Structure 1
Amino acid sequence: MKQYITLLFTLLGLNLLAQSSTISGTVKDGENGEDLFEALIIVKELSNTGAKTNAYGFYSLTLPNGTYTLIVRAPGYDHKEIEVELTSNKRMDVELFVPSAVKEIQEVEITATKENDNITKSGMAVTTLTPKDIETIPVIFGEKDIVKTLQLTPGVKAAGEGNAGFYVRGGGADQNLVLIDEAPVYNASHLLGFFSVFNSDAIKDVSLYKSGIPAEYGGRASSVMDVKMKEGNNKKFGVSGGLGLISSRLTVEGPIVKDKGSFIVSGRRSYLDLFLKASKDQDLKNTKLYFYDLNLKANYKITDRDRIFLSGYFGRDNLSFSDIFGFRWGNATGTLRWNRIINEKLFSNTSVIFSNFNYSFDIGADDEKFGVSASIQDWNVKQDFNYYANRNNSLKFGFNAIYHTFKPGELNSTVSAFNQLKVADQYALEFGVYAQNDQKIGDWFSIMYGIRYSGFNYMGKGTAYEYDENGVKTNETAYKDFESIKYHHFLEPRVSMSFILSEKNSIKLAYNRNSQFLHQLSNSTTSSPTDIWVPSTNNVKPQIADQIALGYYRNFVDNTYALTTEIYYKHLSNQIDYRNGANLFLNEEIEGGLVYGKGRTYGLEIQFEKRKGKFTGWISYTLARSLRQFDAINGGKEFSARQDRIHDIAIVAMYRVSKKIALSSNFIYYTGDAVTFPSGKYEVNGTIVPYYTERNGYRMPNYHRLDLGMTVYFKERPKFEHNLNISIYNVYARENAYTIRFEEDQDNPGKTKAIQTSLFRIVPSITYNFNIK
C-alpha cells in the first residue's frame, strides 16, 4: 500500500522530499467584499508559478520554504505585491481595489483573469462576461442583457429576432444547461423570448463553456451557461437601479454584519400593461402584459473556515386579454450552500438546490372556462471538492443527485360536457460522479483531464408503454413507487490540452463526451414556455454528443489585441424528432410519435478582439453546418437542422469619446434558418392541400441589422453616480422575416403567395441608471 501511495503521488508530480508549505486564503473586492473568481496569485521569483481563485474566491499554493514576493491581480483591479516568508502553512486573505482611472473609463474585456490567460490556461476558450462588459452595448428595448451579448460571440446563435433562446455549435436550444447559482433554469426568457430572465443588476458574472467542458458539469449535450449572482456589499449599504421605457429595476444591498455577512435584493418589472389602462377600450384596460424578476441572496461567515449562502430567483410572466384568455409561466429556484475550508489544500462546497418551472393558460369566462397546466420540478444535492495537491496539480471531484418530477399536462374545465384530463406524472433520479485534474507539465504544456459517470433511473409510480417500429402501442406495464422502469448510464471522458508556443500564442486540443437525459419537445421554430420536457424512458433514448475541437490563440501588441480561432466536429446520437402528424398536446402516448436519428455539426469560429484603449470591441465570424439524419424522415436522407446557419457575423464596437460620453454599435448578419416550405399544391375534393417534398429544404431570408447606442455619464459625486443610455435598434429599418406563411391570392385564386411577418423596424430606447453608494 505504501508503494502504491508513493507511486500515485509521484504521478501527480508531488515532491515528497522537499520541505514545503502551503499558503492559502481568499481574494475579495475591497470595496464590497465580493469574492473574486479566477484572481491570479503569481510568485515573482519562480517563472510560470502561481494559483487561481476558485468560484468562491479561495486559492491554495504550495511552495518550497523560503521568502517570496506574491503578486495578486485581477482584471480591472490594482494589483498587490506582498512579501511572504514561508516556513509553515500560512493563511493570507487579500483585498483588491479598483483604481480611480478604471472607474472613470470602463474597458470591455471578454475573458477574465490575466491578460494572456487565453494563451496559458489548459482549457479551451471560455466566454466570460460581467455586467460592466455589456454596460453600453445596444440591445432591443434598451434592456441590458447578458444572453443577448453572448449571442454576439462565435458559435452562439440567437433562436430568432429578439429571442433570448440560443443555439451553441449546432445543438438544439434544450441542449444548453443554464444554471443560476447552481440551479437549472428550464425557460430562460420573458415575453416569449424578447428578454432573458437574468437581471444584470443582480448578476456577478456568466461563463459559457462550448468545448472542453469540465467534468463537474453534466446533463446537456452542447454547452453550459453558468450564471453567478452577486453576494451583496458587506462594507456598506447601497441602492442602484434604472428606469426604462419598457421596464424598471431596483437593487438594495448591504452588510448583515460588516465584513462577515451581506445581502442583496434585486427586482425588475415591466409595465406595458400600465399603458393599456389608459385605453378607452374596456377589454384593453383589463389586459395584463408584464413580467417580473426577484433575485435574493444572503451570506454569512460563521468562522474563518465556514461560510453559508442562501440565494433564490423568482420570475413570472402574465399575459392575458380581459377574461377571454390568460397565459402565465415562470421559474423559481433556491440554493442553500455551505463552503468549508477543510485545510490549506482542501476546499468543500455542499449545496441543496431546488428548481421549478411551470406554466398555465386558460380560455373563456368562469362559466365556460378551459385551463391547462404543466411543470417540471427538481431537488438536487451536490457535493464538490477542490484539492490543491501542489503548484502543478489542482483536482476537483464530487457527486450530485437530482430527483425530477415531471407533470406533462392537466386539463380542467368548468364545462360539464368535458371531463378533467391529466397526463400521468413521471419520475426519475439523475446522478453523476466525477473527478478531474488540472495539471501543468513544465512551462509549455498543461492538460485538464477527467471523467464523469452519469446515471439516470426512470422509475414509478406509473405505467410504461411499449411501441413497435411504426409507433403503435403493443404493451403496457404498471410500476409501483420508486420501482425502476429503465436505467441509463454512461462514462463521459473529458480532456483539454494546451501547448504554449510562447507567451503570445498557443495551440489547444479538447475532446469531451456529454450525455443528456431530459428532452424538450416542441412543434414551433423557437423555444416557447409550452414546450414539453420529457425524461429518457424505456422508449425515449438519451442523447449523446462527442465533440473534438482544435484552437489557435494569438495575442498582439502587449495583449491589446487577441485572435481566437477554433474548429470543431461534433457527432450527435439519439436525436429526437416527430412522425408526421404527431400530437404533442396532452398526449399520454406521445412517445409513440417520436423517431430517433443521428446528427453531426462542424464549423470554424474566429474572433478578433481589441481589449484596451478608448476604442474597444470585437469581430466574430462563424462558418458552420448542423445536419440530421432519420430513417423515418426525408426518405432517410440527411437534412439541415432548423438551426443550420452557414454564415454568422457580428461586429461590436465601443468608443469612449470622453469621461462623459461613450458610443457603441452592433452589426449582425447571418444566413437564414433552414425551414420546410411547401413545394407545390394539389386539390382534394375542392380543398387545396400543400405538397411538401423535403424536410428543411428551404431557407428564410438572410438577416441583418445595425444597432447604435450612446451613454451619457453625468457628474459623479462621492456617494452618487448616474447615466443615461440611449439606443436605436435596427437603425436602417430592415424588415427581417420573423415568419413566412402561404395563402391563396384573392385576386388570382389559382396562385399562392408568400406573406412575410416582420416584428420590428426602428426601435428607440432610453434608460436612466443610478447608483447610490
Structure 2
Amino acid sequence: MKFKNLVIVIFSLLCSSAYAQKSTLSGYIKDSSDGEGLIGANVYVKELKVGNQSNTYGFYSLTLAPGEYTLVFSYTGYERVEKKIRFSAQNQQFSVELKPLNNELAEVKVTAKAVDENVKSIEMSVNKIDIKTIKRIPALLGEVDLVRAIQLLPGVSTVGEGASGFNVRGGGVDQNLVLLDDAPVYNSSHLFGFFSVFNPDAVKDVKLFKGGIPAQYGGRVSSILDVKMKEGNTKKLEVNGGIGVIFSRLSVEAPLIKDKASFIVAARRSYIDILAKPFLTGNNANAQFNFYDLTAKVNYNIDSKNTVFLSGYFGRDVFGTGFGFNWGNGTLSARWNHVFSNKLFLNATSFYSNYDYLLDSDLQNKRPNDSFRWTSNIVNLSFKPDFTYYITPENTLTFGGQILSYEFKPGKAVASSVGEKREFGQANKRGLETSFYVGDEWKLSPSFSAQYGLRYSHYSYQSLDGEYYNRIAVPMTAQNPSGYVLQIYRVNPDQVIASYGNFEPRAALNWSLSEASSIKASYNRLAQYVHLMSNTAASTPLDVWTSSTNNIKPQIADQVALGYFKNYGENGNDYEASIEVYYKKMQNQIDYSDRANLFLNPYFEKDLLFGDGRAYGLEFFVKKNVGKLTGWLSYTLARTERKIEGINNNEWYTSRYDRTHTFNLIGQYALSAKWSFGANFAFITGVPYTIPVQKYVYEGIAYPQTLPGTRGNIRVPDYHRLDVSATKKNKKGLFGKGSSEWVFSVYNLYNRKNPFSIYTRPNEDNSVQTEAVQLSIIGSFVPAVTYNFTF
C-alpha cells in the first residue's frame, strides 16, 4: 500500500465514527494583487459558528456536513469576502483572492491578523511583526532592519550596540534558531551587528517564538525566528528599491507564467569603501570594508495539488586593510507542497546551509612568504517532511521528522614565515541529528483549547580527523584554572564517539474568559546539540561553532509561562494588552575558565566549564492597532543567572546576558496621505561586567587581576536612546512611474554616548595606577536620508 494511502486510511479510521457523514472543503487564500498566499487568513462558517486559519502557504481545510453555508474570508488590511456555497457529500475545493484595502491606515497596523487572534489563538510568547510596520520604525542610517525591530519586543535584547544577533529571555546568541525559508542562518548580521542579513524587500512573514514552541521546531533552547521569503508576484512585474547613505537595494519580481509561476530577486550592496576611497592613503589606500547579499526565489504551481519552490540566499562581509576578516552565509532551500486529500497537506523541505569565515593577514597578497590565513565553516544538509492533517475544524494534527547533518571545520590555519609553512588548528567534526514529532491542536469547547505534542531528537558525534579527547580532572592551578587536562585517543573516522537522545514534550492551553480576554499557559522542553564558543561579551564573526561531544553535553531547557491577554476598543482589537511571567531552567550551560584560549586551540575543551542556568521574568506589552497614531509599549523585568562549577565559588552569578529592565516605546503617526512620522525610545539596564578588584606591579607596570567570587561584579552604565523619522510620499516614482518616498531619520537624537563595554588599563601618566575606560561604538547622533521606490 502506498504511504499516502496508508496515512489516509489510519486517520480515516480514527475519525470515521464521529464524522462519517461529513466531507471536506479546502483551498487557498491569496492576495489578489500579487498572488502571494496569505498566512493566518480566516475562514468562518456563519451558520455553524466555526472556522479555521490558513497555514504558512495560504492553505485551509474545513470538515462540514452537507448543506448551504455562508463562508466569510477575512484578513486584516484586506476586503472581507462572503460567499454562499451549497456543500454536497463530496469533497470540494474552493480558493479565493482577497483585495488589499485602499486605505493608508491599513498599512500602519502593527500586525496583519484576525481581530481576536491575540486572545483566541493558542499561541503565547510569540510575536509577529508585519513587514510594513518594520519599514516604518526609525533605523540606523535610515536602513530597515528586521533584527533591530524584534529587539523592540518584550523579552528580546542585545548585549550592546554593534553586537551580532540578539538575546531572548536570557539566552545566548547561539541559542536562537534563525530560519530563512527553513534553512538555518548562523550569523544574522552584517557589519558586526549594525544591519541584519534579511533584505526587507524580499521578506513576507516574520515570527518569533520565545516560548510555547510547537513540536515541529527544535534544535535551540531559547527561541525560533522563522522568516519566510516572498514568493514573487504572479500577476505583474514589480520593482522595489532604495538608495541610502550606506547601501542601496533593488528587488525585481514578476510572473514566469501568469498565476502559475513567478520569481523574485533582491540584492543589496554597501558602498562605504567606494565613498571613503578618495580619503584613504598609504597602507589604507586599498582598504576593503563592504557587505553585499543576494536573495532569490522561484515557485511553480504545477496543479491544484502540487507546488514547488526553490529559494536561496548568499551574503558576505569583507573588512580590513592588510589584515582583515571575511565571512558570509549561503543557503539553498527546495520545497514541495502536496495536497494528498482535502484533509492531508504535506510540506517537504530540503536545504543546504554554509557559514564560513576567514581571517587573513595578507588580503593584498604582498607578503606570500610571511602571512597567516585561518579558515573555518559549518555546513548543514537536511531533509524535512511536515504533514498537517485537518481532522475537524476544531482539531488539527501535525507530524513529521527531520534528518540534519553537520560538518564542523572549526579552524585550520596556515602560517608562513620566511617561506616556511606551518599548519595547525582544531579537529574537524561531524554530527547527525534526527528527530520525529507529533502535535495536536484541539478546540475542546468554545472557551478552552489545547496544543500538545512530543518531539524526540537523537544526535551522534564523529571525529573526521580520527582522534578525540577525553577530559580528566586534575588539581586547579594558576596555569590550569579549569582543573582539567585532555587525553588523546585515536579512532576510525566513521565510528560514533558519543550519542544523545532526548524527549522534548510541549503543551499550551488557552482558557477564554470572554470574547475579549483569555488566560494562557505553556510548557516546553528543548534540546540543543551545537554550541558557539565565545568568551567575549559580544559574539564576533570569528567565534567557533562546535558539536556536542563526549565532553560537551547537549544543552537542555525547560520553560513554563503564564499569561493574561486582553483586547479593547470598538473594533475588537483597537488596543491589545498582555502580561506574561516565565521561568526557564537550563542544563549543561557553558562558561569558560579564566584566561581560556579558544582561538585555534585544539585542546579548548579542557578550558570549558559546565553548570546550570535559570532565567525568569515578567513581560508587559500594550499595542494600539488603528487610527492615525499606532505603536506599542513593551517592558521586561528579568533576571538571568548561571551556576557553573569552578566559577564564582560555585555560587549563582548574573549572566552576561542579564538585563534587569528593558523598556521600549514605539510610535507611528500618519499626519496625512503625504506625511507620516515615527519615533522609538529604548531604555535598558547595563549588562553585568567583571572588573579587576586588585593589581600586581611588575617592573613599574600595573597588571589588573580578578579574584574568585567576583564574576559580574559591576554593570555597564544604563543604555537609552531616541530615534525619529519622517516619511514623505511622492506623487510619482522613479522615472515618473509607480510610487516613491523620502525617509529622513535621526538615530540617537540626543547624542547619547552609550557604553558598549568597560575595560581597565595602566594609566598613561602613571603606569603604576590603573584606570577604567568606557568604550562606545556609536557616540553621537546619526542623521540619514533614504529614497525608496516601487513600480
Residue in structure 2 matching 1:616, options 630, 650, 654 = 630
Amino acid at match of 2:335: R
Secondary structure of the residue aligned to 2:250 is strand
For structure 1, which segment, 147-156 or 469-478, has the greater mean C-alpha deviation from structure 2 after superposition? Answer: 469-478
2:698 is equivalent to residue 700 of structure 1: no
Tell me how far apart the structure 2 counterparts of residues 742 and 152 of structure 1 sit (CA, whole Å). Answer: 32
Residues in 1 aligned to 2:528 and 2:42: alpha-carbon distance in whole angstroms: 34
| Structure 2 counterpart of 1:187, one-letter code | N
Matched, 1:85 2:103: no
SS in 1 for 2:283: helix
Tell me, yes or no, if the aligned pair for 2:428 and 2:463 is still in contact at 8 Å.
no
Return the offset for 1:133: 1.3
Q: What amino acid does structure 1 have at the position aligned with 2:278?
A: A
Kindly report which structure 2 residues correspond to 1:102-501, keeping only aligned pairs within 5 A, or say none.
102=104, 106-110=107-111, 112-279=112-279, 281-321=281-321, 324-364=322-362, 365-415=367-417, 416-461=419-464, 462-470=466-474, 472-473=484-485, 475-501=487-513
One-letter identity of the residue aligned with 1:70: L
Counterpart secondary structure, 1:149: helix
Q: Displacement, 1:739?
A: 2.4
Give me the whole-angstrom Cα distance separating, in 1, the residues matched to 2:15 and 2:507. 18
**Number of residues of Structure 1 aligned to a counterpart in Structure 2:** 762
Give the counterpart of 1:712 among 708, 714, 728: 728
Letter in 2 for 1:73: S
Task: Classify the secondary structure of the residue corresponding to 1:644.
Answer: coil
Q: Supply the distance in 2 between the matched residues of 1:280 and 1:158 (Cα, whole angstroms).
A: 33
Q: Distance in 1 between matches of 2:284 and 2:768?
A: 39
CA distance in 1, matches of 2:399, 2:202: 29
Unmatched runs of 5 consecutive residues or more in structure 2: 1-6, 475-482
Deviations 1:512-551 (A, max 9, x none): 0000000001122111110111110111010000000000
**Over residues 244-276 of structure 1, what are the superposed CA-to-partner deviations in whole Å (9 max), with x where a residue is unaligned?**
000000001101110100000000011000012
Post-superposition offset of 1:16: 2.6
**Pair 11,600 (structure 1): closer, same or farther in 2 beyond 3 Å:** farther
* Aligned equivalent of 1:564, options 578, 582, 586: 578
Cα deviations across residues 547-582 of structure 1 (Å, max 9, x unaligned)? 000000001113101111100000000000112222
SS of 1:541's partner is coil
Q: In the alignment, which residue of structure 2 is the partner of 1:596? A: 610
What is the deviation of 1:464?
A: 1.6
The structure-2 alpha-carbon separation of the partners of 1:350 and 1:686, relative to structure 1 and needing over 3 Å to count, comes to: same
Contact 1:398 1:434 in 2 (8 A): yes
The structure-2 alpha-carbon separation of the partners of 1:547 and 1:679, relative to structure 1 and needing over 3 Å to count, comes to same
Alpha-carbon distance, 1:282 to partner: 4.1
Q: CA deviation at 1:684?
A: 4.1
8 Å CA contact retained: 2:247, 2:271: yes
1:651 paired residue number = 665
Query: Structure 1 residue 474: deviation in Å?
Result: 5.4
Query: What secondary structure does 1:491 align onto?
Result: strand
Aligned mates of 2:673, 2:106 — CA distance in 1: 7
- Where does 1:478-627 land on structure 2 (aligned, <5 Å)? 478-557=490-569, 558-627=572-641
What SS does structure 2 have at the residue aligned with 1:119? helix
Choose 374-383 or 271-280, whichever is displaced more. Answer: 271-280
Is the partner of 1:35 in helix, strand or coil?
Answer: coil
Query: Under a length normalisation based on structure 1, what TM-score does the superposition of the two structures give?
Result: 0.96
Contact 1:276 1:287 in 2 (8 A): no
Q: Distance in 2 between matches of 1:719 and 1:656?
A: 24
Query: 1:421/1:184 Cα in 2 relative to 1: closer, same or farther (>3 Å)?
Result: same
Cα distance, 1:737–1:460 mapped onto 2, change above 3 Å:
closer
Give yes or no for contact 2:164–2:187 (8 Å, CA) kept in 1.
no
With over 3 angstroms needed to count, the CA separation of the structure-2 counterparts of 1:15 and 1:661, relative to structure 1, is farther
Deviations, residues 482-529 of structure 1 (Å, cap 9, x unaligned):
321111010000000000011100000000000000000112211111
Cα offset, 1:108, TM superposition? 2.7
How do residues 624-703 of structure 1 correspond to structure 2 at under 5 angstroms?
624-684=638-698, 686-693=700-707, 694-703=710-719
- What does residue 769 of structure 1 align with? 788
Provide the secondary structure at the position in 2 that maps to 1:148.
helix
Task: State the shift of 1:163 in Å.
Answer: 3.5
Q: Which residue is equivalent to 2:477?
A: none
Matches within 5 A, 1:730-741: 730-741=748-759
Q: CA deviation at 1:227?
A: 0.5
SS at match of 1:174: helix
- In structure 2, the CA distance between the partners of 1:710 and 1:11, relative to structure 1 (3 Å rule), is farther
* 1:136 and 1:725 in contact (8 A); partners too: no
Indicate how the Cα distance of structure 1 residues 37 and 640 shifts in structure 2: closer, same or farther if over 3 A, else same. same
Q: Do the aligned partners of residues 12 and 551 (structure 1) sit closer, same or farther apart at CA in structure 2, a change above 3 Å counting?
A: farther
Quote the Cα distance in structure 1 between the aligned partners of 2:448 and 2:706. 54
* Contact kept in structure 2, 1:550 and 1:566, CA below 8 Å: yes
Task: Give yes or no for contact 2:410–2:545 (8 Å, CA) kept in 1.
Answer: yes
Structure 1's 478 and 45: CA in aligned 2 closer, same or farther, altered over 3 A?
same
Aligned-residue offset at 1:64: 1.4
Q: Note the C-alpha offset of 1:414.
A: 3.3
**TM-score, normalised to structure 2's length?**
0.94
Q: Distance in 1 between matches of 2:38 and 2:731?
A: 29
Question: Secondary structure of 2:103's match?
Answer: helix
* 2:416/2:422 contact within 8 Å kept: no
Q: CA deviation at 1:59?
A: 0.8
Contact kept in structure 1, 2:702 and 2:768, CA below 8 Å: no
Moved more, 584-593 or 428-437: 584-593
1:105 Cα deviation (Å)?
5.5
Output the CA distance in 1 between the equivalents of 2:11 and 2:332: 39
Could you tell me whether the CA contact under 8 Å between 1:13 and 1:392 is conserved in 2? no
Does structure 1 conserve the Cα–Cα contact (< 8 Å) formed by 2:164 and 2:539? no
Opposite residue 494 of structure 2, the aligned amino acid is F
Judged with a 3 Å threshold, the aligned counterparts in structure 2 of structure 1 residues 114 and 279 are, in CA distance, closer, same or farther, namely same
Q: Give the AA of the match of 2:318.
A: N
RMSD: 1.8
**Identical residues among aligned pairs (%):** 44
Q: Per-residue deviation at 1:402? A: 0.8
- Equivalent-residue separation in structure 1 for 2:462 and 2:693 (angstroms): 45
Rounded to whole Å, the distance in 1 between the matches of 2:636 and 2:742 is 34
Amino acid at match of 1:65: P
Q: Cα deviation per residue 1:641-685 (whole Å; 9 max; x = unaligned)?
A: 001010000000111000000111010001100111111222245
CA deviations 1:415-447 (Å, max 9, x no partner) are: 234412242210010111000001001100000
| Shift in Å, 1:10 | 11
Partner of 1:726: 744
Say if 1:596 and 1:431 are closer, same or farther in 2 by CA, change over 3 A: same
Contact 1:13/1:393, CA 8 A, preserved across alignment:
no
Q: CA deviation at 1:750?
A: 4.4
Distance 1:139 1:15 in 2: 57
Q: Whole-Å Cα distance in 1 between the matches of residues 512 and 292 of structure 2? A: 47
Shift of 1:13: 7.4
Matched, 1:758 2:776: yes
Does the CA contact (< 8 Å) of 1:360 and 1:374 recur in 2?
yes
